[in-house]
Structure formats: C-alpha cells, structure tokens
Amino acid sequence: MLENIITMATQAVNDLSHRLRRRSIEAPLWERLAFYLTLAVVGFVSVFPFYWMGVTSLVDETWLYQTTPQAIPALADLSLENYWTLFGSETVPFVQYFLNSLFIGTVSAALGLSFAIFGAYSFARLEYPGRWIFSRGVLVNYMFAGILLVIPIFQILVTLDLVNNRLGIIVTHFIFVIPLGLYLLGNYFRSVPREIEEAGLMDGYSRLEVIARITIPMSKPAIVATYMYAFLLSWNEYLYASVILRDQGLYTLPIGIEQLQYAFQNVWGDVMAASVVTTIPVLFIFLYLQRYLVEGLSFGNMD
C-alpha cells in the first residue's frame, strides 16, 4: 500500500517536472511566427515561377503584353488560345514532338533496364573477384557529364550513320540509362533478404529461375520506379538530342520548345503552354515516385 503511494507520488512529480521542462523547451511565439514566415518565403520562391508559367499559358496576348504587367489575371482574360495553337495548328508540330519524346523515352528506358536488371543483380548478389569495380565504377559516371563526351560520341554516330535518325538518339539514351539502372537497382537488390532466394534455390530453381520467378516479381515497385527515372532522363535530355536530330519531324520536346521560341517573336504564351504540357507528366510521375525520392534524385541528372 505504502509502496503504491510512493510510486504514484514519484510518478506525479516526474510527470510535472517533465511537463515543465517541455514548456521551457518549446519555442516562444515570435520564434514560431518567424518559422512560418520563413517557410512561406521558401514556398513562394519555389512555386512562383510555376504559377507564372501556368498563368502565362492560360491568358490571351493582350493581357500578356500590356504596359504595366499584372500578377493576377481577371477571369475574363483567361483563354485556351495557346493550347489550341499547340495542338490544333499546322505550323507547329507540337503533337509530333510530344509523341517523339514519349516514344524515345519509353523505348530507351525499357532497353536500358533490360540490361541493367541483370547487371545490377550480378554485382549485388553473386560473388566473384572484381565485382567491387562494377559497384564503384558506376560512380565514375558522375565525373563524365554529357558535354565531355559529346564530340567523340557524335563522331561515332556519324561513322555509324546514326545522325538525324531516331535510332541514333535511342541508342545514346539507352546506353546512358544503364548506369542509372545499375546504381538504383543494385542498391535495391542488396536490400532484398537473401533467405527468400535461398529457399528458391533449395526448391531446385536455378539461379536464373530465381531471378525471373522470385527477385524480379518481388522488386516490381523498385523496377517501375527505376524505369520512370530512366524515362525522365530521356524526356529531359537536351544536349545529345540537339546535335543528333536535325529534321523538325524528329525533334523531341526540349528541342521543339527551343525552336518555338527562336522561330517566332513574342510567343511566350505558346512557349509557356508547351512548358506546362512538358511538366505535367513529370509531376504525375513524381507523385508515384515519392517513396524513392532520395535514391533516385541523388543520382543527379544528365544534361
């Protein structure tokens, strides 16, 4: 009985002192205000260009080129004119650019991953002398950005007659995707518990069957995420597309949008609408990718 009272009393004292300490640690009002204010500024700076991109794409020209620019359009100023120009007009083959980008991205990501899956599995799981070279060597890619190799790769493509050719850009992108796939999938396969695969081996599966029947199905979400990063790499790539593709009909979105801006005067509405159309698929992809953000984004992007 006495013991109970003592424990209860000590607990109450502990509680109280804990609460007092909490209060002294909690930030005062002005500090919280400053915190939310800073946060608001950061949010505004990050988002405002996107707001402006959207607004510009949705208004007509007279609003855009007035002598004193406004920040917020009236409802009456909104129009879909710019989007009609992009999708309906004969002069700008924007739909063609979009389809080109979609096709090149889809194919080169798929090709790249079909190689990278096995390569990544190999150095993540199988033991052999020299495998560390492959897992570390992936990082050497960081050093060789596109611009350092654009001359020799262009010359090689010239020799192979792959310039101004869809195949040329697919080959280039698909090879660039491989290191990304090796890096992301290698990290992932290492985190898959060995025991499940070993159980498969015990049941008489060969190693290849284990990969095909156990590892790949189990890793589907990670493979899809890697595929999407690979796709984005191709979707955003500018440098190689700009030197390889010459005919307007072959242009990908980055090249097409750039041409749009240089070809005509004061087409900001159209250019911003094109930018919106290019950005939206990327945002949807990232909604899916939330869980893989740190790994994927830390690989960096190719230019």
Residues 8-67 that bind another protein (CB under 8 A): 21, 24-25, 35, 38-39, 42-43, 45-47, 49-50, 52-53, 56, 64-65
Instruction: State in angstroms the smallest separation of the CB of 200 from another protein.
Output: 14
Instruction: State in angstroms the smallest separation of the CB of 133 from another protein.
Output: 9
Contact 226, 185 (CB under 8 A): yes
Instruction: State in angstroms the smallest separation of the CB of 59 from another protein.
Output: 12
Residue 179 touching another protein (CB under 8 A) = yes
Residue from 83, 94, 98, 176 binding another protein (CB under 8 A): 176
Q: Which of positions 67-86 make contact with another protein (CB under 8 A)?
A: 68-69, 71
Instruction: State in angstroms the smallest separation of the CB of 239 from another protein.
Output: 6
Residue from 107, 150, 192, 218 binding another protein (CB under 8 A): 150
Residue 199 touching another protein (CB under 8 A) = no
Instruction: State in angstroms the smallest separation of the CB of 7 from another protein.
Output: 25
Choose the binding region for another protein from 4-12, 77-85, 141-149, 188-196 (rule: CB under 8 A): 141-149
Output the six-digit token pair for 100.
Answer: 């080109």
Residue 142 touching another protein (CB under 8 A) = yes
How many whole angstroms separate alpha carbon 109 and alpha carbon 184?
14
Build a one-symbol-per-residue string for 104-123: x at contacts with another protein by CB under 8 A, - elsewhere: -----------xx-xx-xxx
The radius of gyration of the chain from alpha carbons, rounded to an integer in Å, stands at 27
Nearer to another protein, 6 or 41 (CB): 41
Instruction: State in angstroms the smallest separation of the CB of 21 from another protein.
Output: 8
Contact 109, 236 (CB under 8 A): no
Q: Which of positions 224-243 make contact with another protein (CB under 8 A)?
A: 235-236, 238-239, 242-243
Residue position matching structure tokens 């690989």: 299
Residue 188 touching another protein (CB under 8 A) = no
How many chain residues are in contact with another protein, going by CB under 8 A? Answer: 90
Q: What's the chain look like in SS3? A: CHHHHHHHHHHHHHHHHHHHHHHHHCCCHHHHHHHHHHHHHHHHHHHHHHHHHHHHHCECHHHHCCCCCCCCCCHHHECCHHHHHHHHCCCCCHHHHHHHHHHHHHHHHHHHHHHHHHHHHHHHHCCCCCHHHHHHHHHHHHCCCHHHHHHHHHHHHHHCCCCCCHHHHHHHHHHHHHHHHHHHHHHHHHHCCHHHHHHHHHCCCCHHHHHHHHHHHHCHHHHHHHHHHHHHHHHHCCHHHHHHCCCHHHCCHHHHHHHHHHHCCCCHHHHHHHHHHHHHHHHHHHHHHHHHHHHHHHCCCCC
Choose the binding region for another protein from 10-18, 84-92, 189-197, 291-299 (rule: CB under 8 A): 291-299
Q: Which of positions 152-171 make contact with another protein (CB under 8 A)?
A: 152-156, 158-159
